[in-house]
Chain A
Amino acid sequence: MLSPVIFDRFDMGFSLAVHILLVIIGMILPVFILCAEIIGTKMKDRYYLALARRLTLAFVVFFGVGTASGTLVAANLLFLWPKFMTFVGQVAILPVYAEVFAFFLEAVFIGVYIYSADKFRSRYAHAAVMVLIAIGAALSAVFITMLNAFMNTPTGFNIGAYLSTGKLVSLSPLAVFNTPSTLVEVAHVVATSYFAGIFVLVAYFAFRLLSAGKRNEEVRIYYRKALSLALVIALFATFAAIATGLITISSLYSIQPEKYAALELDLYPTSHAPELIGGFYSNGRIVDAIAIPNLQSILATGSAAGVVPGLSSFPKNTWPPLFVHFMFDTLVFFAFAMGAFFILLLILKFAKIDLLRNRYVMYLYIIAAVVAVFLLEDGWIMSEIGRQPWIIYSVMTVAQAANYSASTIPIAIAVVLFYAFILPFTAFILKLIFSNRQLELDLGIK
C-alpha cells in the first residue's frame, strides 16, 4: 500500500505546478496592459489601446481561476502539511499574512480598473490603477517566496533548542523577512516569473500572427505591435532572469551548501573543483561526467583555489536525490539556449530578416516560450527536490509534517481530474470570448 505521504507530495506538487502557470500570467499581464495603455494613450495609437482592452478580459479570467487555485494551494498547505503550518504559524507566518493584503490590493483595484474605466478624467490616472494591481501581484509573489526562503534557510528561533526540546524559544517573528536566502531568492523568483510569463504572451502573439493568414492587414499590424512590445519586455526579463540566476547559484554554495553539493554532484569539499557536466553517482563515486577543470571553483568563489562544499560533510540520509544534478544541467543548458536565442535574433536582424513577419521566426518564438516555461518549472522542482528530505531545512522533514489521513488519496486524484478539466475549459472559454468579440470591432474597422 502506498503511503498517503506520496499522495500529499503529489497533490501539493501538482497544484503548485499548475498554480505557477496561472501566477506568471497573472503577474505579467498587468505590466503588459499598463505598457500598452500608456503607449496607446501617449501616441494615440488605437492598436495599443485595443491591446490593453482585450488583454484586460483575459486578465480577469486568469485572475479568477488563478486566485482560486492559489486559495486551493493555501488550503493544501494547511490540510496536507498541518504540522508544518503549525510550526510556520508560530515562527514565520507574517509574510503569509501580509500577502493577504497584497492580494486585496490587487482584487480591489481590478474592480476599479475594469468597472470604473469610464469614470477617470485622465487615461493616465486609469493606467495608474494598473500600477497598483501590478504592485499587488508582484508583492504577493515576494511575500510567498519569503516563506519558501525560510524553508530553505530557517531563522528567527533557536534551532538547537527546538531540536533538543521541541520548544520554540528566542522567537523573532520579523526574521523571516530577511533570512540569508531571502533577497536572492525573491529577486530570482520575481525575475523568472516575468520572464516565463512574457514568453507565454510572445508565443500567443506569434501563434496569432501565424494563424492570421489573409485576415485584414489591420489585424496583422495589431498582432505585430503586440509581439514587438512583448519582445522588448522579454529581452529585459531574460537579462534579469539570467543575472539573478547566476547570483542564486553562486550564493547557494555558502548559504545552502548541501543543496549546492547535490546540484553540482560534489562528493567531497575541494578546491580547484571542476564543473561536472552529466555524470552519475555509483558505488561511492561519480562516473560518466565530463569535467571542466577549475571552472566550478572559479564560478562559485571567484578563484580556482576556492573550496566548494561536498556531500560527505552531511549525513548520507539527508542527501537530496542526486538526479537534481541532471535537472541542474538541463536548466543551465536551456538558460544558455535562451541567451543564444536573443543573439540569434540579433543576427537575423542584421541579415535583414523581418522578425515580425517571417514564419520560421514565429515558430522560433513558440519554441522559446515552451523552453521558458519549462525552465521555470524545472527550476522550482529542482529547488524543492534539492531540499529533500526536509520541508524546513534541518528542522522538520516532509514525513514529519505530512497528513497521514487516507482521504488524501482520493483528493489527490480529484485535484488532477479537476485541473485536467478546468484548464482546457478556460482556454476554450477565452477562445469563445474573443471570437464573440471580434478584434476588428475593437480596432474600429467594422
Chain B
Amino acid sequence: MNMIYLLNHAIFAAFLSLITVEVGISVLGLAGYREYWKRMKPYLMPMWEINGTFAVFYVVAFEAMYPQLLTLVGTAYIAPALVAGLFFILRNAFLSYSEYIGSEKHEKRLVSVYGISTVIVAVLAISILTSAVSGTGVSVPLQSISIAAFANAFNILAILSIVLISIFCVKALFGFRGNAVLDIGIVALGILGMMIGAYVGPSYLLFSLRSNLDFALFVFELLFLFVVAVLHASEKRLARFLVLPWLFSAILAFTVFQYPYLFGMEVNMLAYTASGTVSGYVILITVAGGLMLAASLLFLLYMSMRRAIVIPSASRRNRKKA
C-alpha cells in the first residue's frame, strides 16, 4: 500500500475518531445535561482544542499529500465546507464560553449551542465524506456537486449510523452504566446501517472485500468491536481504553476497503500523490511532528492523572478549621 495514502488516512482516522467521540458527547449532552455532561466535561475540556487542531491537521495534510486534487475538491465542496467552518467556530466559541460562565443555567444553554453546532458540523462533514467516497451527485469533469444529492440512502444511513456508533463509544469511554443490551443494540444497528447504506448506495467499494486482506480486516474489526461491547456490558474498565483504538482501526480499515479510489472509482488517488521530493519532506515532518505530538499528549495524560499538590499552609488552615 502507498505510504502517503496510509499516512493521510491514518491522520484522517485519528481525526474522525476524536470527532466521533465529540458527536457522541454532544448528543448525550443534549439528551441529558445533568446525567451525562458533568462526567464528560473533564475529558472534553482539555481535548476539544486538540480535536479541533486535528481537523486542521487533516486538511493541511491533504493539501500537502494530494495537491493536484485540491482544485477539484476545493471548487466542488466550497458551500458545505465553509458552512461547516462557520458552525465549527460556533462550536469552539460556545464551548469556551461555557467553561467559565459560572452559572449552571447559562452553562446549560451554551453547551446546547455547542452540541447542536457540533452535530451540524458532523452532518456536513459526513455528507462531504460520503459524497467523496461514493461520487454521488459529483461531476468530476465540471468540478461541481449537487447539494440535493446529499439526500441519498448511503449518506442518510451513514449519518444515523455514525451518531449511533458515537453514542456507544461515549458510553463505553465514560463507563455510563445502563441497559447493556440496549448499548450493544445501538452499536450493532450502527454497523448494520453503514453496511446497508454502502450496499444500497453507490459506494460499492466499501464492504466489497475485494481481497483477503480486506476480508481479514473486516473480521478483525467485528471481533474487536465484539470484545469492546462485551467488556462494556460486563462493566470492565478495559472497555474505556479499547474503544478509541477500535474506532481508529475501524475507520482506517474502511479507508483500506476504499483504496485507492475516490468518487466511486472515478479518481485514482495514487495518480494525484505529491511529487517524490515534496512527499519525502512531508513524511519527515509528519514523523517528527507526530513524535512531538505524541510526547506532548503523553505529558498531558501524565499531568491529568497526577494528584493535585496541596499547599501546606492551606492544608494547615483546613485542619485548624476542622
Contacts and interface: CB of A to CB of B under 8 A. Distances in A.
A83 B67 CA distance: 9
B129 to A, nearest CB: 15
B97 A61 contact: yes
Contact of A82 (B55, B71, B85): B71
B49 A67 contact: yes
A93 B82 contact: no
Contacts of A287: none
Which label, helix, strand, loop or mixed, suits the secondary structure of the B interface? helix
A268 interface: no
A436 interface: yes
A414 B81 CA distance: 13
B74 A104 contact: no
Question: What class of interface size applies to chain A in its complex with B?
Answer: 35 or more
A100 B57 contact: yes
Nearest to B295: A108
B137 interface: no
A212 interface: no
A65 interface: yes
Interface string A85-118: 1111111011011111101110111111011101
Interface stretch (A68-76, A217-225, A226-234, A344-352): A68-76
A415 interface: yes
Interface stretch (B30-38, B202-210, B242-250, B272-280): B272-280
Nearest to B54: A104
Contacts of B103: 436
A181 to B, nearest CB: 22
A44 interface: no
Interface stretch (B86-94, B176-184, B224-232): B86-94
Contacts of A116: 300, 303-304, 306
Interface string B280-322: 0110011011001100110110011011110000000000000
A96 B60 contact: yes
Interface stretch (A254-262, A324-332, A382-390, A400-408): A400-408
A285 interface: no
A89 B293 contact: no
A418 interface: yes
A422 interface: yes
A119 B78 contact: no
A120 interface: yes
Closest 4 CB pairs of A and B: A89-B67, A82-B74, A64-B96, A111-B46
Interface of B: 42, 45-47, 49-50, 52-53, 55-57, 59-61, 63-64, 66-68, 70-75, 77-79, 81-83, 85-86, 88-93, 95-97, 99-103, 106, 144, 274-275, 277-278, 281-282, 285-286, 288-289, 292-293, 296-297, 299-300, 303-304, 306-309
Given A74-B60, A97-B61, A432-B106, 10 more contacts: A57-B100, A71-B59, A82-B71, A90-B275, A91-B278, A112-B299, A173-B277, A403-B78, A425-B93, A437-B102
